[in-house]
Amino acid sequence: MPVMQANDLRKQYQLGNNQVDALAGVDFLVEKGEFVAIMGPSGSGKSTLLHMIGGLDQPSGGEVFLAGSRLSQLKDKKVTLLRRRNIGFVFQFFNLLPTLSAEENITLPLLIDGQNPKDYQQRLESLLKLTGLSDRRRHKPDDIRSVCVDLVPPRDSQHQQLGVVAGVSASAGRSPEQRGN
């Protein structure tokens, strides 16, 4: 069963007297374990597509399925639960909380979901090691950025890695039952 699917996905916006087709009949399927990259030039609909398949926005037409559920048939609270338990978003500007440490930013989605972060210590250690952030787990995002800024541009630094780890931590290592599937 696919973990994510879009069928004839469309999104239209009204700009003054003009109708803009941000998405026009997008079909795709993502199977468990697949790695997918959405690429294209600025303005091609990448962010719009991500907002649709993540349940952050409603399509003008077509259907989105996430973890086997048709998003259009779910109440907002159920869509929020599915999103929180099954996918992680890494926004362009990361949305990290500056007052929290790297570890706290990573485990925040677990707390929001009522989980005990201590139950995920092994996964946390693995993610921190994988991204080279083990020794910076108690640093704040701005501290991590300032350490890296002399080495590489900030958008390519460990600050970005922290955003990725925070984005994937909510569902990583959880069974389908824990994710609500």
Name every residue whose Cβ is closer than 8 Å to that of residue 85 and which is 6 or more positions away in sequence.
Answer: 113, 170, 171, 174, 178, 179, 180
Distance CA 81, CA 66 (A): 11
What average pLDDT does this structure show over 73-88?
83
More confident residue, 122 or 146: 122
pLDDT given at position 91: 59
Q: Delimit the domains of the chain by residue range.
A: 4-86, 102-179
Within a 13 Å sphere around the CA of 117, how many CA atoms are in the beta-carbon half?
14
What pLDDT does residue 65 have? 92
Closest CA to 36 of 84, 72, 2: 2
The mean pLDDT value for 69-86 works out to: 86
Average pLDDT over residues 31-47: 83
- Which tokens hold the place of 79? 């869509």
Count of residues in the chain:
181
* pLDDT grade for 73, boundaries at 50, 70 and 90: very high
Q: Which CATH number fits domain 4-86: 1.10.238.10, 1.20.1250.20, 3.30.420.40, 3.40.50.300?
A: 3.40.50.300
132-171 pLDDT, tens digit each: 888 888 888 877 754 433 333 334 444 444 444 444 444 4
Residues 46-55 have pLDDT tens digits of: 888 888 888 8
pLDDT at 148: 37
The token pair that represents 126 in the structure block: 């693995």
Please compute, for residue 51, the number of CA atoms within 13 A of its CA located in the half-sphere on the CB side.
Answer: 14
Mean of pLDDT values over 82-100: 72
What pLDDT sits at residue 10?
95
